[in-house]
Structure formats: structure tokens, C-alpha cells
């Protein structure tokens, strides 16, 4: 089985396993106690904090260990907003932030900064969003779904010029290197770089106004209540140091493998859109979307072939809504596959994936296309109407593709759909197929999407 979903959770690094087992024997006592066992635990905790701070690029007393990356985000945003409550309750986020950031932002007045089709923000868009009552800005260092690296240093400079702290979610990138720029707060999660789950990092620079929210607690500077999970913390710090030592060489190797996927998938699979920035990206992530494919079905096909990958497709979500990242980028969401290679990924397994993928996509397309009932089509005032109501992605797009040839060049097709994914996928299909998307209008049920045939 080839595990290609390291962006969700990386396999436990061997160094993390060794450190975890050793610290179970040595680090079980309360590090706040003065007796021998407590002092030994305190030494382990202090050493882990120094190692973590060195990797982050901050002082040890600026670093807090939390119970998860999500908890680090929630505590960081709440504490920063609490510390600057006299300034206001305005918060700036990008449209492609991790859900932990977006859920925290719901408690405040939010400006959501858009991204381009690669998934990147511009520093100018953050500068334009700043207001006198802006208390905090948030930006990920790199996107978790498509791998695009964000211009953190430029955004941090714009925020600093306005006196606004910037919180950086570095969960995906910290294993590859420190975050550049004059950021104010930083969060990360150990299981993203091969540490154990249940350990997060929160760094708060000296001088940043920060007021921990919730009941007071004496541990971790009051920013992370509860007894420290010392064995996991030690393992997290040890594995972070280990992956950093390997990062430069491993990044070169994984970039070659992901470049191979980016170039060969469109050659071997028709109607594929490779998304994300082709250059400013993390080494191990490559994401693509396949027309006329149900994402969940494709993932099952690849799982049967021995590959563990993930998807941002709407069809893999219980809510049946498109990935907010792909939606913000304005790219195709159906049939989405994210390949995120772990440290040590084998070149031969990448080649085997590239051999298996075309057949898997073809089988899914056959399942969705051949057995599907013919689309309900009527001609009304020289407009071809496709009734796809009640049909989920990617069926509305499949039915549109089937009938585009039935209208003359310049003719119009009106697609009726009540699936939210159609709002993203039909325009994306038009761009890929060089047809004209004319917009959306209300219908008796759902919405009507207008498409004009160009060729």
C-alpha cells in the first residue's frame, strides 16, 4: 500500500518513535515539581521547547505546546483578538485558510481576502483590507489542498507597517523550513511533519498584545491549560529536528516526483486540470481535477489499487458542497485528487500510480456515463434546456457535455441544477472546453446556468 496523503497526516518518523518510547520511561512525572523525577521531566520539556523554538525561529519563552494544531489556532486567534480588543473586532483572513482559522474567524467581524486561480493572495489585497479597527490578520504559509506557497513576508511587512499583528498557520510548511518575514504569531501541528498527533505549537512574539481566553491556568504561560503530554512533546520536537536535517535534500527529490505527476497526468488522462501554482509550491503536494468523475468513486478505485490519496471534491463531503479552497480559486472541483508524498516516498510507486490512474479514471467515467439515463432535453425559443435537477456532481456537467454538439455555434444551453457544485464546475468546464459561460439565473428549482457554444 502506498500512502500518498501526508498533507493530512504524515507517517510517524522513526526518530519520533524512539523519542516517544524513551520519554515514556523518563518523562512521566510532573515537570513543575522540584523532586528528582520532576526535574528530569522539566529538563526534557525545556530541551523540547528549545528545539521547537530553534525550528520556528523564536525564543523558547515565546513558544507554547498545545494539545493540537487546531487548538493552537483557536488559542492564538482568541488571545490576539482579546489582547487588542480596544482596537476593534475586525479580522482579516484569506479565502483558502484551513477550516480551524475560518471557524475561529466566525466569532468576529471578518474580511475574507480573495485568491487568484493558483490559490495565492497578494500582499496588496491584505494592505487594502486593513482598517483602523483591524485587530489581527491571518495567513497560511502554504495551502493544505493545492500546495501553493503564500507571500507571507510581503503580507507581514504590510501588516507591520499598519501596526497589525499577523498570525501564520505554518502547519504544512514548518517541516520544510522556518517561515520568513516579521510575523507576530505562528501555529503548527506535529502530525504534519511526522510527529505524534495531539501536539501543536503556538509562538507569540514578545511585544504582541496577547490575552489568553478562558479560565486561568498556570501551565504553558497560561496559554495551554492542562498537564503537558510530555512524551508526545519530546517526540514532536525530536522529529521536527530530524526532518529539518533532511529537508533540503528530500525537497529536491520530492519536487522531481511531483513534477513528474504534474506533467504526465494531463498526457495520460484526458480532460484534467492540474491546479495550484506550478513553481511557488510545497515539494510534496500535487493536485488535479478530472472532468466527468465522481471524486469519492475515484478514491475508492485508487484505494483498491493500493494508493491512499485524498480529495477536495464536493462528492467526498457529507455536505455535498465543493471544497472552499477550490471554490475560492475558481477551478474545477469534480474528480479532485490530492497526492501528497511523505518523506521517503518511492519513485517506483509514483510511476506505478501514473500507470494505474488512467484506467481508474476511465472506469469511473464509464460507470457514470454509460449507465446514466439520457438527459432530459427540450428546445425552447432556440435554447436547449438540460434538466439535471436532483442529480449530483459530476452528472450535470456530463449531461452538458453530451448535448453541446446538438446546438449550432452561437446557440445557447440552459442547464438546470440544484447542486451547489454546478456553480463552480460548469464555469470551469466552459473554460477548459473554450465555451462561453454566460452566467447564472434563478429557476423555479435550483438555478439555471447559461452556456453559449463557441466551437
Do residues 209 and 182 make contact, with C-beta atoms less than 8 angstroms apart? Answer: no
Please give the average per-residue pLDDT across 120-142, as a whole number. 97
pLDDT for the residue 152: 98
Cis peptide before 366 (omega within 30 of 0): no
Query: Which residue, among 428, 434, 398, 433, has the nearest Cα to 415 in the 3D structure?
Result: 398
Mean pLDDT of the chain: 91
Active site residues: 315
pTM of the predicted protein model: 0.87
Over residues 213-245, the pLDDT tens digits come to 877 776 777 778 788 899 999 999 999 999 999
Residue 114, pLDDT > 60, answer: yes
pLDDT for the residue 378: 52
- Asked which of 189-198, 213-222, 243-252, 412-421 is least confident by mean pLDDT, the reply is 213-222
Over residues 11-43, the pLDDT tens digits come to 999 999 999 999 999 888 889 899 999 999 999
pLDDT for the residue 370: 29
Over residues 424-434, the pLDDT tens digits come to 899 999 999 89
Over residues 152-183, the pLDDT tens digits come to 999 999 999 999 999 999 999 999 999 999 99
Cell 529537508 belongs to residue: 247
Which phi and psi angles does 386 have, rounded to 5°?
A: -110, 120
pLDDT for the residue 320: 53
pLDDT for the residue 313: 61
Share of the chain above pLDDT 90, in %: 78
Residue 145, pLDDT > 90, answer: yes
Interior/surface letters 355-391, b for 16+ CB within 10 angstroms, e for the rest? ebbbebbeebbeebeeeeeebeeeeeeeebbbbbbeb
Residue 357, pLDDT > 60, answer: yes
DSSP secondary-structure letter at 265?
Answer: H
pLDDT for the residue 372: 39
Query: Which residue, among 196, 191, 89, 189, has the nearest Cα to 133 in the 3D structure?
Result: 89
Work out the burial of residue 260: count CB atoms within 10 Å of its CB; fewer than 13 is exposed, 13-18 middle, 19 or more buried. middle
Q: Does 433 or 314 have the greater pLDDT score?
A: 433
Residue 282, pLDDT > 50, answer: yes
Cell 474545477 belongs to residue: 332
Over residues 73-93, the pLDDT tens digits come to 999 999 999 999 999 999 999
pLDDT for the residue 315: 47
Q: Does 95 or 366 have the greater pLDDT score?
A: 95
Q: Does 320 or 60 have the greater pLDDT score?
A: 60
Return d(Cα 141, Cα 97) in angstroms, integer. Answer: 10
Amino acid at each position: 500500500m502506498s500512502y500518498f496523503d501526508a498533507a493530512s497526516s504524515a507517517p510517524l518518523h522513526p526518530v519520533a518513535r524512539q523519542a516517544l518510547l524513551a520519554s515514556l520511561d523518563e518523562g512521566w512525572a510532573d515537570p513543575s515539581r522540584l523532586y528528582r523525577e520532576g526535574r528530569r521531566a522539566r529538563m526534557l520539556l525545556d530541551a523540547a521547547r528549545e528545539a521547537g523554538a530553534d525550528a520556528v525561529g523564536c525564543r523558547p519563552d515565546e513558544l507554547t505546546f498545545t494539545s493540537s494544531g487546531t487548538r493552537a489556532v483557536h488559542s492564538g486567534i482568541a488571545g490576539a483578538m482579546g489582547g487588542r480588543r480596544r482596537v476593534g473586532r475586525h479580522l482579516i483572513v484569506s479565502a483558502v485558510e484551513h477550516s480551524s482559522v475560518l471557524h475561529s474567524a466566525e466569532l468576529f467581524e471578518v474580511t475574507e481576502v480573495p485568491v487568484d486561480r493558483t490559490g495565492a493572495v497578494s500582499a496588496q489585497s491584505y494592505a487594502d483590507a486593513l482598517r483602523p479597527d483591524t485587530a489581527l490578520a491571518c495567513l497560511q504559509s502554504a495551502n493544505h489542498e493545492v500546495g501553493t506557497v503564500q507571500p507571507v513576508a510581503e503580507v507581514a511587512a504590510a501588516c507591520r507597517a499598519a501596526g497589525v499583528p499577523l498570525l501564520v498557520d505554518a502547519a504544512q510548511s514548518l517541516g520544510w523550513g522556518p517561515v520568513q518575514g516579521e510575523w507576530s504569531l505562528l501555529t503548527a501541528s506535529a502530525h504534519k511533519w511526522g510527529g505524534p498527533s495531539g501536539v501543536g505549537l503556538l509562538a507569540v512574539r514578545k511585544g504582541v498584545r496577547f490575552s489568553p481566553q478562558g479560565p486561568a491556568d498556570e501551565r504553558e504561560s497560561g496559554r495551554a491549560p492542562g498537564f503537558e503530554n510530555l512524551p508526545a512533546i519530546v517526540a514532536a520536537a525530536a522529529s521536527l529536528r530530524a526532518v529539518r536535517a533532511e529537508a533540503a535534500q528530500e525537497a529536491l527529490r520530492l519536487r522531481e516526483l511531483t513534477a513528474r505527476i504534474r506533467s504526465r497526468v494531463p498526457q495520460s488522462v484526458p480532460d484534467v486540470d492540474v491546479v495550484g501554482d506550478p513553481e511557488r509550491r510545497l515539494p510534496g503536494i500535487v493536485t488535479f481535477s478530472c472532468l466527468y468523475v465522481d471524486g469519492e468513486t475515484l478514491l475508492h478505485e485508487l484505494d483498491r489499487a493500493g494508493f491512499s490519496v485524498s480529495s477536495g471534491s464536493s462528492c467526498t463531503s457529507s455536505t455535498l458542497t465543493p471544497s472552499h479552497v477550490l471554490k475560492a480559486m475558481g477551478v474545477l472541483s469534480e474528480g479532485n485528487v490530492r497526492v501528497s508524498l511523505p518523506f521517503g516516498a518511492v519513485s517506483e510507486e509514483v510511476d506505478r500510480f501514473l500507470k494505474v490512474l488512467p484506467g481508474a479514471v476511465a472506469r469511473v467515467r464509464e460507470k457514470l456515463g454509460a449507465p446514466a439515463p439520457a438527459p432530459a432535453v427540450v428546445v425552447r425559443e432556440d435554447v436547449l434546456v438540460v434538466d439535471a435537477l436532483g442529480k449530483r456532481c459530476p452528472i450535470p456537467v456530463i449531461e452538458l457535455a453530451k448535448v453541446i454538439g446538438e446546438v449550432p455555434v452561437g446557440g445557447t444551453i440552459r442547464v438546470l441544477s440544484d447542486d451547489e457544485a454546478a456553480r463552480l464546475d460548469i464555469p470551469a468546464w466552459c473554460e477548459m472546453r473554450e465555451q462561453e459561460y454566460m452566467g447564472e439565473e434563478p429557476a423555479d428549482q435550483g438555478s439555471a446556468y447559461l452556456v453559449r457554444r463557441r466551437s
